[in-house]
Amino acid sequence: MKSPWAREIGAMVRKEFRTELRSKSASYTAFMLSAITVFTLAFAFYGRELPPDAASGMLWAALLFAGVGTLTRAFVAEEEQGTGDLLRMWAHPHAVYWGKALFAFLQMSATAGLVTLLFFMLAGVGVSNYAMLGLALLGGSAALAGMVTLVSALVSRGSNRGTLAGVVALPLLVPLVALGVTAGRSAITGLAQPAGWASCGGVWCYTLLVLAMAPYQLAAVWGEP
Amino acid sequence: MKWLALLGMSALIIASFQVPPALGFPEPELARIIFFHLPCAFSTVVFVLFAAYSSYRYLATREWIWEFRALAATEISLGTAVATMLSGILFSKVQWGAWWHWDPRQTSFLIVLILLGAYFAVRMSFEEEVSRARAAAVYSSLTLVPVLFLFFVFPRLPQVLKNSLHPSTTVQSGGFSQDYWTVVLGVFIMLLGTCIWIYKLHVRTSLLEQVLKDQDGQLETSGNRPTAYRVDRGVSLREPD
């Protein structure tokens, strides 16, 4: 941490950690939301075998709801608590974005790991290609964190923030989910491996695009009072 | 000019019923829906991309004209997207037997429609003009990634193409005669011209509204002072006797 920019990001991540440690509400809610989705989906197949083709879609649905349901609080909470202006004065918008997105990524990765374990335990489905599934989930968590953090900034000063965040974020994440589901399906069933790897690459391309665009978009929508 | 456009459109409608039925469809006569469906889809692509570009320009320059252009382009693209969807649903019913098939292209267009709808949800959530313009511009430029994916990548993925009922393969493999393409292109040019005309009217209306708002603001003030100064008086609060 030599440059002030890196120091600002580090301080943002620390701030997010401390805030989260005080209440633990976001992590707890994210996990509970995902777990409930997984339980509900598993219950839908009670007494029947879950088709491996459908497993990937269900896993991504659970992760999507967990991400959109909890990560949208990132900037909304700042505006509600009145700390948004302080952040604007104290740090560069890019640093604020990277700090919040990094924390969201760590939180989302942990949630994705736990939910995936829980999902495969309950669904009773095996995985053929762990590397492909892991890479797709890691890239997906990064893209979810990056996009939802930006959406949170976008809606933070609007009305009906909770509903609006879902309306805005879900369609923007459709390409990611489509690619993730295809990669996950190949990883679980072991079929169409080249298409699976191509989709996995697509997930990472989407992630890079989001992370390249988002800091500039955040500066435009949130950086000015 | 408007009369010429009306004549041109009438001629194209007549021509659309004169060309021989397209082969390779279960109901060749009813495949003529494509004459209106495809141009609407092409126009949607043009205006969605232009809206994203205008939004980017607004963010870069903060000139209101780009915000008005983005809004007008998005409204027109929403209209053409709805027309595409409705004509597509009709086509689906007469050719494939059901109103909705979860065909990849149908589905991807539905998601584009949702993205366009969400743009207006964003606009409605902000009362203050500058915040509204900023949020809408950011959202519109953000939609560029999914829109490009949904229009150009997703329907062409091999695993998707394999399961698609859409006649894009018929089109690409030369299932359309040259006459068919001439009418499609003609309708597209006419529709695009009409949309550009509506777009220009929309932008001009927005500019006039802006001028009116500015003049209204000046009428309420004396000199260069804002209105608030005229009602700003010292107030003393005294306990009643």
DSSP collapsed to 3 states, chain B: CHHHHHHHHHHHHHHHHHCCCCCCCCCHHHHHHHHHHHHHHHHHHHHHHHHHHHHHHHHHHCCHHHHHHHHHHHHHHHHHHHHHHHHHHHHHHHHHCCCCCCCHHHHHHHHHHHHHHHHHHHHHCCCCHHHHHHHHHHHHHHCHHHHHHHHHHHHHCHHHHHCCCCCHHHHHCCCCCHHHHHHHHHHHHHHHHHHHHHHHHHHHHHHHHHHHHHHHHHHCCCCCCCHHHHHCCCCCCCCCC
Closest-CA distance, A148 to chain B, in angstroms, reads: 12
pLDDT tens-digit map of B105-114 = 888 889 899 9
Q: What is the pLDDT of residue B79?
A: 95
CB contact under 8 A, B145 and A224: no
Cα(B114)–Cα(B92) distance, rounded to whole angstroms?
20
Q: What is the pLDDT of residue A90?
A: 82
Helix (H, G, I), strand (E, B) or coil at A122: helix
- Give how far the C-alpha of residue A129 lies from the chain's centroid of Cα atoms, to the nearest Å: 22
Cα(B95)–Cα(A16) distance, rounded to whole angstroms?
55
Answer whether B28's CB lies under 8 Å from B91's CB.
no
| pLDDT of B173 above 70 | no
Closest-CA distance, A113 to chain B, in angstroms, reads: 26
Residue A167 has its nearest CB partner, among B121, B134, B137, at B121
Enumerate the H helices of A45-92 as residue ranges. 52-71, 73-81, 84-90
Q: Is the dihedral of CA B159, B164, B168, B174 positive or negative?
A: positive
Q: What is the pLDDT of residue B94?
A: 87
Q: Average the pLDDT over each of A160-169, A207-216, B51-60, B215-224 and give the range with the smallest value.
A: B215-224
| pLDDT of B230 above 80 | no
Residue A137, CA atoms < 13 Å, CB-side half-sphere:
28
Answer whether A139's CB lies under 8 Å from A175's CB.
no
Listed residue (A136, A141, A13) closest to A66, CA to CA: A141
CB contact under 8 A, B121 and A182: no
DSSP conformational letter for A124: -
Give the pair of three-digit tokens for residue B92. Answer: 């689906």
Q: In angstroms, what is the C-alpha Rg of chain A?
A: 18
CB contact under 8 A, B150 and A175: yes
Per-residue pLDDT of chain A in tens (225 residues, 90 and over written 9): 446 788 888 988 998 888 888 877 777 887 788 788 888 877 777 777 778 778 888 889 888 888 887 777 788 888 888 888 888 888 888 899 999 999 999 989 998 898 888 888 887 788 889 999 999 999 999 999 999 999 999 988 888 887 888 888 888 998 899 899 989 999 998 888 888 899 999 999 999 999 999 998 888 888 776
Say which residues have a Cβ less than 8 Å from residue A39's Cβ, sequence separation at least 6: A122
DSSP conformational letter for A158: S
Cα(A168)–Cα(B196) distance, rounded to whole angstroms?
28
* N-term to C-term CA, chain B: 78
Listed residue (A208, A203, A31, A206) closest to A134, CA to CA: A203
- Give how far the C-alpha of residue A148 lies from the chain's centroid of Cα atoms, to the nearest Å: 7
Q: What is the pLDDT of residue A1?
A: 46
Q: Is the dihedral of CA A106, A109, A111, A117 positive or negative?
A: negative
Backbone angles phi, psi at B221, to 5 degrees: -120, 155
| B125: chain A residues, CB-CB within 8 Å | 155, 158-161, 164
Cα(B21)–Cα(B19) distance, rounded to whole angstroms?
7
Closest-CA distance, A1 to chain B, in angstroms, reads: 31
Range 47-76 of B in CB contact (< 8 A) with A = 59
For the question of an ipTM over 0.85, the answer is no
- The mean of the pLDDT values for chain B is 83
Residue B135 has its nearest CB partner, among A154, A174, A213, at A154
Q: What is the pLDDT of residue B174?
A: 60
CB contact under 8 A, A213 and B142: yes
Q: Rounded mean pLDDT of B45-51?
A: 94
pLDDT tens-digit map of B116-130 = 999 999 999 888 888
